[in-house]
A and B are shown apart, each in its own frame.
Chain A
C-alpha cells in the first residue's frame, strides 16, 4: 500500500477521502468543532502507525477507522462526565432556537442541537446509519450490539429527534 511506503500521493488521496468522513463523525458525536478536529487528527496518527502492517483486501479499512474514531469520541464524552466544564461545547437547547421562517443554515443548527441532546448511543446509531451511511450490520458490529438492538436505538433516537423538532417536522 502506498501509504505504508510513505507515498505522498497515496497519503494525500487517503486524507482527501477519509478526513472529511472522520471529521463529520466526530463532529456529530461530540457536537464540538475543535474536539472533532483533535479526534480526526488522532485517528490518522493511529492510521500511520498501522500502515506498515496493512494488507490490501484483508480489512474493511473504513470500518476500522470508524472504530478508532468512536473510541476516541467516547473517551472524550466520558471525560466530560468526569470533569464537567464551566463552558460546555456548542450544544444549545433546540427549543431555545428560532423556529419560524428558518433558513437552511438555521435549520441545520437546530437539527445538530437536537442530535446532541440525544443519549450518546442513540446519537451514535443515527450518525452511523444515516450520516455515515454504514450498513446495519456494520453499524451494529461497531456498536457491539445485535441488529435488533441497533434498530431499537435508531427508532428511539428518531422518535426523540421528532419530539425535539416537533414544530419543524409537523410544518
Chain B
C-alpha cells in the first residue's frame, strides 16, 4: 500500500483501522510501521471528524416503543397460528376466514389500527425484498 491509498482509505473510513476494508488492514498496519510520521498525520486529520461523529449518541428506545414491538410479535404469532389451524382443519376460503376470525379475534384485542398501519408499510417495502428473502432462506417450504 502506498501513502496515497492510505490517504484515500482514511478519507473514506476515518482513522480507526477496524472500519477499513478487512483485506487492506494488514497492508495499512505495515505502512504505519514503516512510515509512522506520515501515517500519523493522515490519521490525525481523520480522527478529528471521527471524534465529532462519535459525540452523536444513538437514541435509546422508550419502554413504550419496546412494548409496542413485542405486542406486534404476539399479534403476528397469533395470526400465524390461526392461519395454520384453518389450513389444517377447515379447507376453503370461507372456513379459513372463519377459523382465523375465531382464533385471532380471541387473542387480538384492540390492535386493528396498529396492525393495519404495519401492513401498509409492508406493502410499501421494496419490490426486491421477496427475492432477497427467498435467496437467503434455504428450504422455505411455503
Residues of A at under 8 Å CB distance from B?
A: 3, 5-6, 8, 11-12, 15-16, 19-20, 23-24, 27-28, 33, 36-37, 40-42, 44-46, 48-55, 58-60, 64, 67-68, 71-72, 75, 104, 107-108, 111-112, 115, 126, 129-131, 133, 135-137, 147, 150-152, 154-155, 158-159, 161-162, 165, 168-169
Q: How far is the CA of A8 from the CA of B139 in the complex (A)?
A: 25
Chain A: CB-nearest residue to B76? A48
- Provide the residues of chain B in CB contact with A154, threshold 8 Å: 11-13
Give the distance to chain A from B64, nearest Cβ to Cβ, in Å.
9
A15-B69, A135-B22 known; A71-B126 Cβ under 8 A: yes
- CB < 8 Å neighbour of B13 from A23, A48, A136: A136
Kindly state whether residue B92 has any CB partner on chain A within 8 Å: no
Give the distance to chain B from A71, nearest Cβ to Cβ, in Å.
4
Q: Is the CB of B14 within 8 A of A46?
A: no
- Provide the residues of chain A in CB contact with B60, threshold 8 Å: 20
Convert B43-82 into 0s and 1s, putting 1 for each residue whose CB lies closer than 8 angstroms to a CB of A: 0001011101101111111100110111011111110110
A6-B73, A75-B124, A169-B49 known; A45-B118 Cβ under 8 A: yes
Main SS of chain B's interface residues?
helix
Q: Please name 17 further chain A to chain B contacts, defined as beta carbons within 8 Å, in addition to the given A5-B77, A45-B76, A108-B55, sorted by A numbering.
A: A12-B70, A20-B59, A20-B60, A40-B61, A41-B65, A46-B125, A51-B76, A54-B137, A59-B136, A59-B137, A64-B136, A115-B56, A133-B19, A137-B21, A152-B12, A158-B46, A169-B52
Give the distance to chain A from B90, nearest Cβ to Cβ, in Å.
20
- Provide the residues of chain B in CB contact with A27, threshold 8 Å: 58-59
Chain B: CB-nearest residue to A154? B12
Q: How far is the CA of A135 from the CA of B21 in the complex (A)?
A: 7
- Provide the residues of chain B in CB contact with A33, threshold 8 Å: 59
A20-B60, A51-B76, A161-B49 known; A41-B125 Cβ under 8 A: no
